[in-house]
Structure 1
Amino acid sequence: MRDKNKDMVNPGNPESIYSFNSNVSVITERGNEESYGMASNQADTLASAIDPASADRDFEYCFFQEIFESSPDCILLLENGSIRRANAAAGEFFGMDTDELRTKTLFDLSPEYQPDNELSGQKMELYRTQLERGPVRFRWVFTAAGALERTAIVTLTPIRVGSIIRVMVHARDVTPLLIAHQKIESQYRLLQMTNAVISAMHSEESTREALKIVADELDSLFGNIVTAVYLISSDAKVAECAILRENIPDFEELRGYSTIPVHKEPYAEVFQRGNPLFEEIRDLETPGMTGFDALAKRHSPTAVAIIPLVSDDRVFGSVNLFSKGREGFDPDERDLLVSIGREIGGAIQAGMMRDELKQTNDIANLFLDILVHDVNNAHNTIGGALELLTGAGEDERETYTNLIQSALDTAGEIHRNVMTIRSIRRGGDENLKPVAIDPVIQRAAPRGADIRFTQSGAVVYADELLSGIFLNLFGNALKYGGPDVEIQVTVTQDDSNVFVTIADTGPGIPDQEKEQLFSRHLRIGSEKKGLGIGLYICWTLAERYGGTIQVADRIPGYPEKGSAFILALRRAEP
């Protein structure tokens, strides 16, 4: 064999003149033999393919050519930074003919920035300066065929050709391995997410608190720019945003989608038919997504998932995810999201059933309490007065008769309130309709009471039970303020609500009792007689109508000078 520093000439290719220095061709540290194995073997083949005998020379050259061309990995030979030769695998990887690759640089085949936000040109130059110490191995992102970015493990090996040091580039595409690794990692995180959701939905007493945990978990898992949980409103016309997590600046400007029209496409697919919706926002165009066009950016896809919260074919709401910079959700993620939607839907339904059972028990206990205490008290009052009436004189007869009449009135009020509670339980808020409030107030006003009221023409959403609020408020004012109490009724309104204030000159309500006033069991003053359910009914009806009721001092800061009840109801058009 001739010395390896001598020239080798391939007669069939005048450009293929190689001279190798065995000390420069491949430098492999003992600890990195496995890392550089393939690249080193190929460089060794280049260095050993020198022989003085023409036959051996041609054979070894052909042998080298075969290894070079048949390698499944990309092999490039660089000279002065430009590609001198490329094998077939390189052409396939970059999606161009090998002749087209000639004269290109590695920077030409790379995106402007690497994943660490470092300029590709600067980073590659840094690696090239390290070649003096031997082969360099690193991870690199190329712009491959189809303009797709693919990750490769790259080994740069210096090879001396005469007085010129060329660089062999060995690049092994590891994108499939990374995708598989990410998928395994994703599936593990999805499993953790599923467990977290199941645990939250079945351990938290409050459904809303559980939904907050779910939103946080989804936001963390997918890195969403928006994670929102919607619940269908009581009238089933819209879905209202209950939980919102967002990671974009100036989000206050995008509040236009606090509600979603459940009957409008594409949302009807989710809320009416119970099917998940997976879309992709691209180039500023959205598939009918209300208000979300502000999230779309040109040439930056945003994956959209709207998952129904469903149980027993009933849809309770949705989880909406907007994940920027990704082209949709993969099948595993879709399956997980659908499962999460069912878990949440089942938990919401179970929570509603628990609430309904609790309400049923509360109502049963309330009726029992009324029977045992209020009705029994009225019965005892009437019985006692009748006994006293038997032996009473003329002057006392009127007193006992009035006592019996008062007890009968109390029994009648008990009956009315019980019937109101039954009607509340039977009816739903789907029966609400526009109701003129002035006639209701006038009909509820007791005869002979000093009630000052100016008609307003206001209209609210309510039903035939609305009068129960005013009957109880007027009745309480007279009961605790006496026959000389003055009652002032004031009605005001804004764009959304109607406010009715009923102020009286009675004894007022102490501050310590105001907070618990609408509880069934609170009585005002131990020496007073009261039904205990009147204000509870007022609060229940106000909530049924989508409104509120609260109590304040007629003159702020002076509770002893009378009370003021403020009722807020949703405004309706006449």
Structure 2
Amino acid sequence: MIYDSKSENNILTKILEQSYDSASFLFDISKGANVILKESGQIFIANSIFFKMFELEFNVFQKDLFLKDLFEDNENETLEKFLKNRISDPYNSPKTSIFQTILESGKSMIVILTAIRIPGTNNILVSATEPKKPLEDILEAPENNAYKSGFKKTFSKYLDDEDESRDYAFEKEDSKNYPVKRNDLRNYQLEILNEILISANSSFTLNRMLDNVLDIISTHLGFEINYIYLKNSDGKTANIISAFGAPHFFIESQKNLDVRSWPYNLIFYAGQAKYIENLPDVTISRHDLNILENLGALSYAAIPLISDNTVIGALYTAKAYEGTFTSFEKETLEIIGKEISNIILRGMLQDKLEKECIEARQCFGLILDDINDLNENLMRSVESIKDPKKSLNELAKLMSKDIHENRLIINNLKIIREIGDSSNIQLKKVILDESIRKIIPRYPTIKIKYTDSLYCVYSDEYLPEVFANLINFMLDLGTDSSDIIIEAEAVSDSVILSVESTGPGLSDEEKLLLFSDFDEENIHLDAKSLGLYTAFILLKHYNGRITVADRVAGNRGKGLSFKIGLIRYYDES
């Protein structure tokens, strides 16, 4: 990767300054065991919690210290590979792995490491924490109350002498709220799960299924506020897909979440349940206080939804009138989270299958209608050759146009078929200039302006078709006299491209609806929208994005402007 050493030093200097700032995101707000590594794995800087967690003295920095020195020899190869992959990760998304170490005191410790490359450098930020107790162990040993603490000790202020009073409070709450014996509580849990399963099997859509689940949680457990996040395909963000009882303004402000940031990465990457409760002498962070205030709640819980060892989302639930969760409630929530994870995965697969079926029907419709019409036009043109009054030159132009439109439809249908199976999509380094230069000769009568940028992006051999389909769409709006202007600019880890025309544009309403239909279940494709749809789904597979606006703000007559965002590829040379 190519980085300017001066820029890298500036970035690291800012991080060093943050380490002494009480409002620092990296070192103080997280209250985590954080460390910055050089590309070699050598420790560059670590906070005090990191020293405490690994039982280190500050004088260890008098010699070169590598992160692998803190772990067992049999872990070194795996750790080095884990760190190396963070440098080469094209998406630069946080990744989590588990390692084992033996401390100076002889204590054996399991450590969860979450690592990400610091943008603009080849350095790695690593956050360490100890894992929570597995749910299976909790269910086998209900008398063990260690799991009730919610947050890990490394991430929140915690008083050891709170355990006894906390457990006593939970036992008291259990007997108060649920006047049955422990084995009866187990039966009640099974009753809730059975109702969830019955509801899931009777629901036709994923959204309806999740709405029913939240309604059951509210009815049986009495939680007033519930909502569910699902991670997006980019692995970096999550959206609220279902909500019950949450204020509308809260849903609007929190519906899109960056799951890489603290403290969401604990839930969406480390897979740890989180309980925020109003307990004596326990400090609640500013972040959690804001959530409680906006929800109008006294306590809330976040339960990771894990399927096939992958966190696919999170269940959030809150109490408006009680400041704690009982042990029964925590146990039940985690059981529900485990069960609905499989339900959600099944629903996602079902939705994907239905969408592919809809796409297949649309493709068949295009074949039967548009291609058939084009073939009819060709046949009429061929018949017209026999008419001595018809100009052969004019007929040749008409036939050439019909054949060209036919080829465009077939080519786009081929692309849709290829990317229908995500296993066929292998993102790789693509030189942007070559992709754009490749399509320019297709338009000999159009003036296309482009200056080489030397940027590379993550995509595949179909990238030129994105630009070709956008150009075709803009040309269909006006005349062949329109100019096309393509420009590229690097912004952080992305390359932003503008594809503009000087011909007629679209109304504000048309621009607003241009891509919205492509995410709907009942999309309608025709010869005109097929190209735009092909460009849209290609960019989606590239983890890219696209927007549309007037080339000149407020003047639709001056042309259209598409903005495309692609992930930048950094050449290691």
If the length of structure 1 is used for normalisation, what is the TM-score?
Answer: 0.51
Distance 1:482 1:175 in 2: 74
Q: Which digits, 9 at most, give the CA deviation of each residue in 1:136-182, with x for residues without a partner?
A: xxxxxxxxxx989989xxxxxxxxxxxxxxxxxxxxxx999758738
Distance 2:524 2:323 in 1: 57
Picking from 335, 359, 366, the partner of 2:362 is 366
Picking from 468, 477, 483, the partner of 1:471 is 468
Q: Which digits, 9 at most, give the CA deviation of each residue in 1:292-311, with x for residues without a partner?
A: 9x99xxxxxx998855443x
Aligned to 1:352: 348
Deviation of 1:347 after TM superposition, in Å, equals 2.6
Contact 2:237–2:258 (8 Å) recurs in 1? no
Q: How does 1:213-362 map to 2 (within 5 A)?
A: 231-232=230-231, 234=233, 240=238, 242=240, 258-259=259-260, 306-310=303-307, 316-319=312-315, 329-330=327-328, 333-334=330-331, 336-362=332-358
Aligned to 2:82: none
Which residue identity is paired with 1:399?
A: E
Q: How does 1:61-210 map to 2 (within 5 A)?
A: 178=176, 181=179, 207=206
Picking from 414, 423, 426, the partner of 1:419 is 414
Distance 2:230 2:391 in 1: 63
Distance 1:510 1:348 in 2: 39
Secondary structure of 1:181's counterpart equals coil
Secondary structure of 1:563's counterpart equals strand
Secondary structure of 1:403's counterpart equals helix
Which residue identity is paired with 1:359?
A: K
Aligned to 1:546: 543
Secondary structure of 2:312's counterpart equals strand
- Cα pair distance change 1:503/1:313, threshold 3 Å: closer
Distance 1:359 1:451 in 2: 36
Deviation of 1:406 after TM superposition, in Å, equals 1.3
Picking from 503, 506, 514, the partner of 1:506 is 503
Structure of higher RCO (CA pairs closer than 8 Å, 6+ residues apart):
2
Contact 1:491–1:500 (8 Å) recurs in 2? yes
Deviation of 1:564 after TM superposition, in Å, equals 1.8
Deviation of 1:493 after TM superposition, in Å, equals 3.8
Which residue identity is paired with 1:376?
A: N
Distance 1:552 1:489 in 2: 15
Distance 1:555 1:183 in 2: 71
Contact 1:549–1:567 (8 Å) recurs in 2? yes
- Cα pair distance change 1:229/1:504, threshold 3 Å: same
Contact 1:502–1:565 (8 Å) recurs in 2? yes
Distance 1:496 1:510 in 2: 32
- Cα pair distance change 1:510/1:318, threshold 3 Å: closer
Which has more radius of gyration? 1
Q: Which digits, 9 at most, give the CA deviation of each residue in 1:207-226, with x for residues without a partner?
A: 46865886798699889999
Deviation of 1:481 after TM superposition, in Å, equals 3.1
Contact 2:362–2:525 (8 Å) recurs in 1? no
* Structure 2: runs of 5+ lacking an equivalent: 1-163, 248-252, 292-298, 518-522
Picking from 522, 530, 533, the partner of 2:530 is 533
Which residue identity is paired with 2:434?
A: P
Secondary structure of 1:560's counterpart equals strand
- Cα pair distance change 1:147/1:199, threshold 3 Å: closer
- Cα pair distance change 1:226/1:516, threshold 3 Å: closer
Distance 1:222 1:436 in 2: 56
Which residue identity is paired with 1:344?
A: I
Secondary structure of 1:532's counterpart equals helix
Deviation of 1:315 after TM superposition, in Å, equals 5.9
Aligned to 2:449: 452
- Cα pair distance change 1:430/1:413, threshold 3 Å: closer
Secondary structure of 1:391's counterpart equals coil
Distance 2:417 2:394 in 1: 35
Deviation of 1:396 after TM superposition, in Å, equals 0.5
Aligned to 2:404: 409
Work out whether 1:379 is the aligned partner of 2:375. Answer: yes
Distance 1:388 1:451 in 2: 35
Contact 2:239–2:257 (8 Å) recurs in 1? no
Distance 2:362 2:174 in 1: 66
- Cα pair distance change 1:442/1:198, threshold 3 Å: same
Which residue identity is paired with 2:259?
A: S
Work out whether 1:398 is the aligned partner of 2:425. Answer: no
Distance 1:434 1:339 in 2: 43
Contact 1:228–1:241 (8 Å) recurs in 2? no
Secondary structure of 2:529's counterpart equals coil
Picking from 436, 440, 465, the partner of 2:435 is 440
Deviation of 1:502 after TM superposition, in Å, equals 1.5
Contact 1:508–1:562 (8 Å) recurs in 2? yes
Distance 1:447 1:307 in 2: 52
- Cα pair distance change 1:309/1:329, threshold 3 Å: same
Contact 2:205–2:351 (8 Å) recurs in 1? no
Work out whether 1:495 is the aligned partner of 2:496. Answer: no
Secondary structure of 1:456's counterpart equals coil
Distance 1:222 1:256 in 2: 26
Secondary structure of 1:562's counterpart equals strand
Contact 1:503–1:562 (8 Å) recurs in 2? yes
Deviation of 1:422 after TM superposition, in Å, equals 0.9
Aligned to 1:564: 561
Aligned to 2:142: none
Secondary structure of 1:423's counterpart equals helix
Distance 1:469 1:231 in 2: 28
Secondary structure of 1:452's counterpart equals strand
If the length of structure 2 is used for normalisation, what is the TM-score?
Answer: 0.51
Q: Which digits, 9 at most, give the CA deviation of each residue in 1:263-284, with x for residues without a partner?
A: x9998885xxxxx879999999
Contact 1:241–1:258 (8 Å) recurs in 2? no
Deviation of 1:193 after TM superposition, in Å, equals 6.2
Deviation of 1:505 after TM superposition, in Å, equals 2.1
- Percent identical residues: 24
Distance 1:452 1:531 in 2: 24
Secondary structure of 2:449's counterpart equals strand
Deviation of 1:572 after TM superposition, in Å, equals 4.3
Q: Which digits, 9 at most, give the CA deviation of each residue in 1:380-432, with x for residues without a partner?
A: 11100010112235x70111111111111112112211111111102359733
* Structure 1: runs of 5+ lacking an equivalent: 1-145, 152-173, 271-275, 286-290, 296-301, 524-529
Contact 1:307–1:319 (8 Å) recurs in 2? yes
Aligned to 2:106: none
- Cα pair distance change 1:565/1:266, threshold 3 Å: closer
Which residue identity is paired with 2:419?
A: I
Distance 1:149 1:233 in 2: 38
- Cα pair distance change 1:260/1:511, threshold 3 Å: closer
Which residue identity is paired with 2:539?
A: A
Secondary structure of 1:501's counterpart equals strand
- Cα pair distance change 1:284/1:434, threshold 3 Å: farther
Which residue identity is paired with 2:233?
A: S
Distance 2:483 2:237 in 1: 45
